[in-house]
Structure 1
Amino acid sequence: MLGLIDCNNFYVSCERLFQPKLEGQAVVVLSSNDGCVIARSQEAKALGIPMGAPAFELRECFLKEKVEVLSSNFALYGDLSQRVVSVIEEFGYPVEVYSIDESFLSFPDMPPSELEKRAREIIARIRKWTGIPTAFGVSKTKTLAKAANRLAKKGDGVRLLLEESEIKAALSHFPVEEVWGIGKRWSLSLQEAGVRTAWQLREANEAWIRSHLNVQALKTALELKGVACIGKIRKEELPKTLLSSRSFGQPLSSLEELKEAIAHFTASAAEKLGRHRGCAGVIGLFVYSARQGHRSATLTLPCATAYPPTLIQAAYRCLDGIFSKGAVYKKAGIFLTEIVNEKTVQLDLLAPSDLSLKKEAFIRVMESINGTYGRRSVHFAAEGLAQKWRPRSERRSPSYTSKWEELPVCKNGG
């Protein structure tokens, strides 16, 4: 039996945890650089504010409806996500973390009444120990558990779909476009064929689904029948490409400031690459200015590497070939590709290698320090100090749980 715990309006719930005044208010959280809406409270959803909408298009709505607008605070969200998972793990059931706000649990066979009791105990403890509200859906497969979870959010927080009669009653009114794994394109095709509910998808001809959609859609239909087709969702161990890019908080025209941003993006990508124990054979860079549009360059490295100083120097060589004096740049980014496992790097006898013990030890020390004292506590001087290019986050709340200087302060009223 599988359960899915999903944090309710997670980013907004994290903000409300330390700002109780936001309870009952319409709240939205914006993406990096305060660009688009990436999270909404129920009150904001009721106002019809769409997910992904550009913030500048909604300014009048925000003012008129008195919507609280916040910049994203991913350090806070990540820390609270880990705390939620740690509470779930206290119960001893196998846990699969699916996303920052969702986790699957595997339950042994037990009576439905005991399952519901255990589910309510878990979400109650999460709320008590972390302050985050959650919903719990339980069923026979991951797709059914997802559906149960969605129904739990509309009810009292827990929903079990175990008996065939319960499943049929729920799926008969469950829109096909809300089924996990059915995207917008598939839902349009299904609706054109008269398949408008999850139950109709479950009962559709399997050969038709496979020929008109694909095997993944067939697996979804089988999951709705209670046939487990989706095993452990493994994140790709070695990515094919890594990208690090941002729109600048303010336009840049200086080569030195642009180099600082490029160094930061490259170091961030190298950090991700190191976590995968991979090495990149090709680095690419792109910049955007209103005058010239997008310009890009790539460079094949003599040996695949994950050593940040080598990658930063390679990014600089790419930048030298496309930088234009007088241009005003609004965005830049780098990408790493041709990624291989660090143990299978093909060495070049005529080129120096970055796979030395001293360089590896240097990177591991940086990882250890940043792991102990916070991400990017130690960084490369090439990334600069002022970092005028950093994205805007004018409405970001403090990092209440991860920075000493931003911890909540309790004052005695006397």
Structure 2
Amino acid sequence: MIGPVGLVDCNNFYVSCERVFQPRLEGRPVGVLSNNDGCVIARSAELKALGVEMGTPAFELRDLVRRQGVVLLSSNYELYGDMSARVREVLEELCAGVEPYSIDEMFIHGDGFSRRQLQDHAQEIHRKVRRYTGIPVCVGLAATRTLAKLANRAAKSVPGYAGVCVLSPGSPDAQALLEKTPLGDVWGVGHRLVERLALMGLHTAADLAAQDPKRIRSHFSVTLERTARELQGTPCIEMNDTNRPRDRIMTSRSFGRLTSNQDEIHQAIRQHAQRSAEKLRAQDSKARAVYVFLKTNRHRPDLAQYSPSAIVELDEPTDDSRPILHAATQALQAIYRPNYLFMKAGVMLIDLVDANRQQLSLLDTPQRQADRERNDRLMATLDQLNQKMGRDTVTLGRPSPKAAWHLRCANRTPRWTTQWRELPYVTAR
């Protein structure tokens, strides 16, 4: 039996999401840009082959766009998030458990499989995720999460594995992979640790796996000891509970262009406050206070600098968007100053409490309780409409469509799966 821990990694995820709905992009060099179309954050294999590095500013690629037919797209996070959820749904049908690690990586469990069955199961995952979602994935399975990471890396980079790598503890394949893997490619081993380990004559994953974990702990830390044990085939790293409520919730974003317009900044604050309130309700919490901040561009020494913040306490813990919006507006009014060009604004909900354990006042009246229940139903209805009809279908106030705070996204593709008005359509001739 093999410890059934696997890692499913979506290949070139952002680009793959775009290609699902635009097959014409297959085989072409494609890059996805960061917020405000600043720099490359995702690359197709074809773009990598042209030598384009992560973080390359978009303006430096103008020549490649012209000569090599490079396609640069604005980030479409709503689409990517929905496609990630679809991949997860497929995995949940096929696996005993799924633990999201990032938007494009998920750990899976496959208890009760023999080695042959596990290999067949991994092949089935590889095939069905692509068939049902259009997203290509690589699957790595092994005894521990650290080994699963290495197996996934091999599945992606070694053609012989064809996207699926299953490692048995102590097998020749596992040992060969450890010997070929530099320590810098091991999950959780940073470059500073690599330098210190090199002084001890340790250079590969196999070198670290051959060490006495207690010796590693005495020289470094319990974290690296766990990594060593994981490389030896002993599971000792657990993922954080992704469903655990967050201690604070923040929504912030850089503006599409600098602005000093108070109305536009107010609109941004209102949007961020509403989004934070949605997240608050989704995790079944209530907030006691609202924190608002503004930032000027510290990289522009020619401009006056001013980056204020303020906290407004709520009358009682709440997840209702309306008092949260009111508090955010109060905070903005307290910190806004004209004649400054702001580049970013944000809203953070702090001092959160469990909505089901909220301590009510002894002075509560039946009318106040009835009002609270009515407000809860109103917010639930608002969230349901936005989930079914697309984000921002129903909002408290409508923002100006061309305000400065909107992101630059000149080349964003439609949100094919989450916005009714952007659904693909076919015209008959």
Distance 1:311 1:147, change over 3 A: same
Give the 3-state SS of the residue equivalent to 1:90 in structure 2.
helix
Shift of residue 65, structure 1, vs aligned partner: 4.6
CA contact (8 A) 1:302 1:348 kept: no
Show the counterpart of 1:295.
308
Task: Give percent identity, aligned residues only.
Answer: 39
CA contact (8 A) 1:266 1:312 kept: yes
Show the counterpart of 1:223.
230
Give the 3-state SS of the residue equivalent to 2:408 in structure 1.
coil
Shift of residue 96, structure 1, vs aligned partner: 2.8
Pairing partner for 1:360 from 376, 396, 405: 376
Shift of residue 100, structure 1, vs aligned partner: 2.2
Pairing partner for 1:114 from 114, 117, 127: 117
Alignment pair present for 1:265 and 2:275: no
Distance 1:336 1:291, change over 3 A: same
Which has the larger displacement, 71-80 or 349-358?
A: 349-358
Which has the larger displacement, 177-186 or 125-134?
A: 177-186
Show the counterpart of 1:376.
392
Pairing partner for 2:133 from 111, 130, 133: 130
Shift of residue 149, structure 1, vs aligned partner: 0.6
For residues 309 and 239 of structure 1, the distance between their equivalents in structure 2, rounded to whole angstroms, comes to 21
Give the 3-state SS of the residue equivalent to 2:99 in structure 1.
strand
CA contact (8 A) 1:260 1:387 kept: no
CA contact (8 A) 2:8 2:139 kept: yes
Structure 1 segment 24-43 matched on structure 2, within 5 A: 24-43=27-46
Shift of residue 29, structure 1, vs aligned partner: 0.8
Distance 1:36 1:335, change over 3 A: farther
CA deviation profile, 1:224-279 (whole Å, cap 9, x unmatched): 11111123541262212222111111332221221111011111111111111122
Show the counterpart of 1:399.
415
Shift of residue 60, structure 1, vs aligned partner: 5.0
Amino acid across the alignment from 2:259: L
CA contact (8 A) 1:238 1:340 kept: no
Pairing partner for 2:6 from 3, 6, 18: 3
Give the 3-state SS of the residue equivalent to 1:294 in structure 2.
coil
For residues 35 and 347 of structure 1, the distance between their equivalents in structure 2, rounded to whole angstroms, comes to 48
CA contact (8 A) 2:255 2:344 kept: yes
Question: TM-score under structure 1 normalisation?
Answer: 0.91
Amino acid across the alignment from 1:13: S
Show the counterpart of 1:15.
18
Give the 3-state SS of the residue equivalent to 1:293 in structure 2.
coil
CA deviation profile, 1:118-167 (whole Å, cap 9, x unmatched): 22122112222222111111111111111101100112111111141221
Structure 1 segment 220-259 matched on structure 2, within 5 A: 220-235=227-242, 237-259=244-266
Pairing partner for 2:163 from 157, 168, 171: 157
Alignment pair present for 1:74 and 2:77: yes
Amino acid across the alignment from 1:209: I
For residues 68 and 220 of structure 2, the distance between their equivalents in structure 1, rounded to whole angstroms, comes to 42
Show the counterpart of 2:299.
none
For residues 144 and 369 of structure 1, the distance between their equivalents in structure 2, rounded to whole angstroms, comes to 43
CA contact (8 A) 2:99 2:242 kept: no
CA deviation profile, 1:85-141 (whole Å, cap 9, x unmatched): 222333353333333222222223444333222221221122222221111111111
Shift of residue 395, structure 1, vs aligned partner: 0.7
For residues 400 and 271 of structure 1, the distance between their equivalents in structure 2, rounded to whole angstroms, comes to 22
Amino acid across the alignment from 2:401: A
Question: TM-score under structure 2 normalisation?
Answer: 0.88
Show the counterpart of 1:326.
339
For residues 233 and 26 of structure 2, the distance between their equivalents in structure 1, rounded to whole angstroms, comes to 38
Pairing partner for 2:401 from 383, 386, 395: 386
CA contact (8 A) 2:142 2:169 kept: no
CA deviation profile, 1:348-370 (whole Å, cap 9, x unmatched): 67999898212211111111111
Give the 3-state SS of the residue equivalent to 2:94 in structure 1.
coil
CA contact (8 A) 1:98 1:233 kept: no
Amino acid across the alignment from 2:208: L
Distance 1:293 1:105, change over 3 A: same
Pairing partner for 2:53 from 50, 54, 74: 50
Which has the larger displacement, 285-294 or 356-365?
A: 285-294
CA contact (8 A) 1:303 1:348 kept: no
Pairing partner for 1:177 from 184, 193, 196: 184
For residues 56 and 355 of structure 2, the distance between their equivalents in structure 1, rounded to whole angstroms, comes to 41
Distance 1:212 1:286, change over 3 A: farther
Shift of residue 392, structure 1, vs aligned partner: 1.0
Unpaired segments of 5 or more residues in structure 1? none
Alignment pair present for 1:204 and 2:219: no
Give the 3-state SS of the residue equivalent to 1:260 in structure 2.
helix
Distance 1:213 1:63, change over 3 A: farther
Shift of residue 53, structure 1, vs aligned partner: 4.1
Distance 1:18 1:166, change over 3 A: same
CA deviation profile, 1:52-88 (whole Å, cap 9, x unmatched): 4443455555555542111111222222222222223
